[in-house]
Structure 1
Amino acid sequence: MSAAPSLEQIASCVAGYDPNALPVAQAQEFIARLVPRVEAVESVAIRSALGRVLARDVVSPIDVPAHDNSAMDGFALRGADLAADGPTTLVVAGTGLAGAQFEGPVPPGHCVRIMTGAVMPAGLDTVVPQEFATLDGDRVTIPAGVVRPGDNRRLKGEDLARGEAALAAGRRLTPADLGLLASLGRAEVPVWRRLRVAFFSTGDELRSIGEPLDAGCVYDSNRYTIWGMLQRLGVDVIDMGVVRDEPAALEAAFRAAAANADAVITSGGVSVGEADHTKRIMKQLGDVLFWKIAMRPGRPLAIGRIADGTKEAILFGLPGNPVAVMVTFYAFVRDALLQMMGAAPQPLPMLRAASTTALRKKPGRTEYQRGIVTRGADGGWQVAITGSQGSGILRSMSVANGLVVLHHAQGDVAAGEFVDVIPFDGLV
Structure 2
Amino acid sequence: MAQLSDDCFAFGGPLMSIDDAVGIITARVSAVSETETVPLIVADGRILAGDVAAPLPLPPFTNSAVDGYAVRAADLPVGREATFAVAGRVAAGSAAAAPIVGAHAVRIFTGAPMPDGADTVFMQEDVGLADDGRVRLPAGLKPGANVRPAGEDIAAGAVALKAGLRLNPQHLAVAAAFGLPALTVRRRIRVAVFSTGDELASPGASRGPAQLYDSNRFMLMAMLKRLGCEVSDLGIFSDERAPLATSLRDVAARHDLLLTTGGVSTGEEDHVKAAVESVGSLVLWRMAIKPGRPVAMGIISGTPFIGLPGNPVASFVTFVHVVRPTVLALAGGLPEVLMPMPVRAAFSYKKKAGRREYVRVTLRKAADGSFEATKFPREGAGLLSSLIETDGLAELGEEIIKVEPGQSVGFLSYAELI
Q: TM-score interval w.r.t. the shorter chain?
A: over 0.9
In the alignment, which of 350, 353, 356 is matched to residue 363 of structure 1? Answer: 353
Q: What's 1:322 paired with?
A: 312
Q: What's 1:377 paired with?
A: 367
Q: What's 2:64 paired with?
A: 70
Whole-angstrom distance in 1 between the partners of 2:123 and 2:246: 71
Q: What's 2:135 paired with?
A: 140
Whole-angstrom distance in 2 between the partners of 1:257 and 1:266: 13
Q: What's 1:273 paired with?
A: 267
1:369 Cα deviation from its structure 2 partner? 1.1
Q: How does 1:197-208 map to 2 (within 5 A)?
A: 197-208=191-202
Whole-angstrom distance in 1 between the partners of 2:69 and 2:120: 8
Structure 1 letter corresponding to 2:240: E
String of CA shifts for 1:23-51, please: whole Å, max 9, x gaps.
Answer: 32222223223322111122222222111
Whole-angstrom distance in 2 between the partners of 1:392 and 1:3: 35
Judging changes above 3 Å, is the alpha-carbon distance between structure 1 residues 106 and 347 closer, same or farther for their aligned structure 2 residues?
A: same
Whole-angstrom distance in 2 between the partners of 1:274 and 1:368: 30
2:20 corresponds to 1:22: no
Normalized against structure 1, the TM-score is what? 0.92
Q: What's 2:297 paired with?
A: 303
Kept in 2: contact 1:359–1:415 (CA 8 A): no
1:426 Cα deviation from its structure 2 partner? 4.3
Q: How does 1:44-193 map to 2 (within 5 A)?
A: 44-136=38-130, 137-145=132-140, 147-193=141-187
Whole-angstrom distance in 2 between the partners of 1:155 and 1:96: 17
Whole-angstrom distance in 1 between the partners of 2:284 and 2:354: 20
1:195 Cα deviation from its structure 2 partner? 0.8
Kept in 2: contact 1:271–1:319 (CA 8 A): no
Kept in 1: contact 2:352–2:401 (CA 8 A): yes
String of CA shifts for 1:24-79, please: whole Å, max 9, x gaps.
Answer: 22222232233221111222222221111111111112222221111111111112
1:304 Cα deviation from its structure 2 partner? 1.7
Kept in 1: contact 2:6–2:298 (CA 8 A): no
Comparing 326-335 with 24-33, greater Cα deviation is found at 24-33
Comparing 266-275 with 117-126, greater Cα deviation is found at 266-275
Q: What's 2:335 paired with?
A: 345
Structure 2 letter corresponding to 1:364: G
Kept in 2: contact 1:199–1:239 (CA 8 A): yes
Whole-angstrom distance in 2 between the partners of 1:304 and 1:369: 28
In the alignment, which of 409, 415, 420 is matched to residue 405 of structure 2? Answer: 415
String of CA shifts for 1:146-178, please: whole Å, max 9, x gaps.
Answer: x31101111111122222212111111111211
Q: What's 1:226 paired with?
A: 220
Whole-angstrom distance in 2 between the partners of 1:374 and 1:83: 56
Q: Match of 1:374, SS?
A: strand
String of CA shifts for 1:192-222, please: whole Å, max 9, x gaps.
Answer: 1111111011111111111222222111111
Structure 1 letter corresponding to 2:135: V
Judging changes above 3 Å, is the alpha-carbon distance between structure 1 residues 306 and 49 closer, same or farther for their aligned structure 2 residues?
A: same
In the alignment, which of 324, 337, 340 is matched to residue 334 of structure 1? Answer: 324
Judging changes above 3 Å, is the alpha-carbon distance between structure 1 residues 257 and 409 closer, same or farther for their aligned structure 2 residues?
A: farther
Whole-angstrom distance in 1 between the partners of 2:359 and 2:319: 15
String of CA shifts for 1:300-337, please: whole Å, max 9, x gaps.
Answer: 21102112xxxx31111111111111011001110111
Whole-angstrom distance in 1 between the partners of 2:167 and 2:398: 34
Q: Match of 2:179, SS?
A: coil
Whole-angstrom distance in 1 between the partners of 2:107 and 2:245: 75
Kept in 2: contact 1:11–1:30 (CA 8 A): no
1:103 Cα deviation from its structure 2 partner? 1.8
String of CA shifts for 1:248-270, please: whole Å, max 9, x gaps.
Answer: 44224312431221001001102
Whole-angstrom distance in 2 between the partners of 1:46 and 1:375: 39
Structure 2 letter corresponding to 1:279: K
1:143 Cα deviation from its structure 2 partner? 2.5
Comparing 409-418 with 248-257, greater Cα deviation is found at 248-257
Q: Match of 2:253, SS?
A: helix
1:5 Cα deviation from its structure 2 partner? 5.2
Q: Match of 2:231, SS?
A: strand
Whole-angstrom distance in 1 between the partners of 2:98 and 2:195: 73
Whole-angstrom distance in 2 between the partners of 1:314 and 1:3: 8
Q: Gapped runs of 5+ residues in structure 2?
A: none
1:274 Cα deviation from its structure 2 partner? 5.5
Whole-angstrom distance in 2 between the partners of 1:105 and 1:320: 73
In the alignment, which of 404, 421, 427 is matched to residue 394 of structure 2? Answer: 404
Judging changes above 3 Å, is the alpha-carbon distance between structure 1 residues 83 and 380 closer, same or farther for their aligned structure 2 residues?
A: farther
Root mean square deviation of aligned Cα? 1.9
Structure 2 letter corresponding to 1:247: R
1:4 Cα deviation from its structure 2 partner? 4.8
Q: What's 2:208 paired with?
A: 214
Kept in 1: contact 2:217–2:260 (CA 8 A): no
Q: Gapped runs of 5+ residues in structure 1?
A: none
Judging changes above 3 Å, is the alpha-carbon distance between structure 1 residues 400 and 418 closer, same or farther for their aligned structure 2 residues?
A: same
Kept in 1: contact 2:340–2:395 (CA 8 A): no
Q: Match of 1:298, SS?
A: coil
Q: Match of 1:416, SS?
A: coil
Kept in 2: contact 1:349–1:423 (CA 8 A): no
Structure 2 letter corresponding to 1:70: S
2:281 corresponds to 1:291: no
Kept in 2: contact 1:232–1:427 (CA 8 A): no
String of CA shifts for 1:346-388, please: whole Å, max 9, x gaps.
Answer: 1122111111011111112221111112333333331111122
Q: What's 2:303 paired with?
A: 313
1:126 Cα deviation from its structure 2 partner? 0.7
Q: Match of 2:350, SS?
A: coil
Comparing 118-127 with 296-305, greater Cα deviation is found at 296-305
